[in-house]
Amino acid sequence: MQLLNKAFVIAWKDILSETRAREIISSVLVFAVLVIVIFNFAFSGSQQEMRALAPGILWVTFSFAGVLSLNRSFIQEKEEGCLEGLMICPVSREAIYLGKMMSSLFFMLLIEAIVLPAFVLFFNVNVITLPIITLTLLATIGFVAVGTLFSALAVNTRAREMVLPILFFPIISPVIISAVSASELTLNGAPWSELASWVGIIAAFDVIFLTASYLIFGFIVEE
Amino acid sequence: MLLISAYKWIKKHILIIASALLMLVHLYMVFIFVPTDANQGIIQRIFYIHVPLAWIGFFAFFVTLIGGVMFLWKRDFKWDRLASASAEIGLIFISLMLLNGCIWAKPMWGVWWVWTARLTLSLVLWFIYAAYFIIRAYISEDGQRARFAAVVGIIGFLNVPLVFLAVQLWETQHQGYLIFEGGMVPEMTWTLMAGIVAYTVLYVLLLKDRLVLKNLENKLNQMKNFITGG
């Protein structure tokens, strides 16, 4: 319980500093809507065609937005020497991981909660359904589970922002494949039972990488 | 006297001799020994090179995983050298396997690339291990480079079964490509087995030589640091 409490304190610190500085949510949100607008120019088509393209556009938007906000997560800590401060605190590395993971999850979900209605508005495809919300929640957990680990890694390399997408996209490919395929099915009216195996892959990804990243995070922020 | 020195020479070069002989035997089997496949014709012979290449690619990344875990545990740089040497060879074999797949796909399906489960999985793996080397290049401190590379090696390999499940399911939902139909006659199995043995010996040879080179590089760096007082 102590661990979770400490993690919550770290997450709360991030949320508090975000409400003051407004660095992540506003810029990532504008970026996400921009991606949707650009896709609209790239694939302007009939209602029918847009319906077929919608799942792909939605998940590209989410993964781009994810990589952008995850990058900020540790750059902030690095810039002002905050990471050193955090490490001096009497908290374990695992608590730091959980805390950073939870704040990134919170920001991502908030962004997605605004992007989904915007998506409906622009494409006239109803993506605010229980299956899609469930998929979004599960996939986002997977994104931030590996994303937090890689964000801490990337910020310590010379190329910083470049490294995260190069690592992040291949690793989350099973989540993207599953989320796009399941969204496609549900938009075509498939019942839950047909989505089960896709949801299973995403859930397995979440469990495996939450555990692995939790155990491995200490090796990234050593010294 | 001559016999003893010949024996010593063979003992020293046993891997390269074995590898060369096995490769020749395998080539003979692929082009002459094995019968032509009834359905796919001559193109199917690429299969006997394709599968061993893929096998070494995956096996090499498994060795990278082991090297990474051992480095994080023991903190001995010899494990990092093993992990990175193996990843280098794995990346080359996976690249060859992807090119090889393209050459196979063109006469089979009329296009250079098909998104079959196995090719897609290999492509994702290729990207993960390309990232492995990009990260190594972007870190100058030795300990940090080894730690970060180990983390990427571990996470990357854990991902393999998940990517495989996803692409497999994706393939059945979209379109199925026929890889191989019907059973294999014994000659085909033998040729495939010979390929796997030949390529495994080649892998061990390359790994050993790469490690010798890496150890020398390491020694040289230590001497340099000693002389410059670093």
What pLDDT band is residue B92 in, cutting at 50, 70 and 90? very high
What ipTM score was computed for the predicted complex, to two decimals?
0.90
Residue B183 above 70 pLDDT?
Answer: no
Which neighbouring-strand residues pair with B37? B41
Q: Which of B135, B156, B162 sits opposite A157 (nearest CB)?
A: B135
Amino acid making up residue A50: M
Q: Which of A157, A181, A212 sits opposite B158 (nearest CB)?
A: A212
Amino acid making up residue B115: W
Contact across the interface for B150 and A219, Cβ inside 8 Å: yes
A101 closest CA partner among A28, A8, A26 = A8
Residue A212 above 80 pLDDT?
Answer: yes
Tokens of B165: 């499940």
Tokens of B35: 């019968």
Residue whose pair of structure tokens reads 């952008």 in the numeric block = A68
Q: Which of A159, A170, A197 sits opposite B169 (nearest CB)?
A: A197
pTM of the entire structure? 0.89
Tokens of A122: 């622009």
CB-based contact A152:A178 (threshold 8 Å): no
Contact across the interface for A208 and B163, Cβ inside 8 Å: no
Give the DSSP per-residue string, B38-70: TTTBGGGGGHHHHHHHHHHHHHHHHHHHHHHHH
The mean pLDDT value for B8-21 works out to: 88
- Burial grade of A189 (CB within 10 A; 0-12, 13-18, 19 or more): exposed
Chain A residues whose CB is inside 8 A of the B140 CB are 158
C-alpha distance from residue B32 to each of B44, B51, B195 (Å): 13, 18, 14
Tokens of A10: 């770290």
Q: Which residue of A has its CA nearest to B139?
A: A157
Q: What is the CA radius of gyration of chain A?
A: 18
Chain A residues whose CB is inside 8 A of the B121 CB are none
Burial letters B81-98, b for 16+ CB under 10 A, else e:
bbbbbbbbbbbebbbbbb
Q: Alpha-carbon distance A107 to B154, whole Å?
A: 28
Q: Does A181 touch chain B (CB under 8 A)?
A: yes
What pLDDT band is residue A161 in, cutting at 50, 70 and 90? confident
What pLDDT band is residue B174 in, cutting at 50, 70 and 90? low
**Which SS3 state, helix, strand or coil, does residue B34 take?**
coil
The mean pLDDT value for B104-108 works out to: 86
Amino acid making up residue B62: F
Query: What is the least distance, in Å, from the CA of B58 to any CA of chain A?
Result: 16
CA-angle at B105, arms to B99 and B107, nearest 5°: 120
Residue-wise pLDDT tens digits, A49-90: 888 889 999 999 999 999 999 998 888 888 878 888 888 888
Contact across the interface for B147 and A220, Cβ inside 8 Å: yes
Tokens of A179: 């989320």
Q: Alpha-carbon distance B74 to B67, whole Å?
A: 10
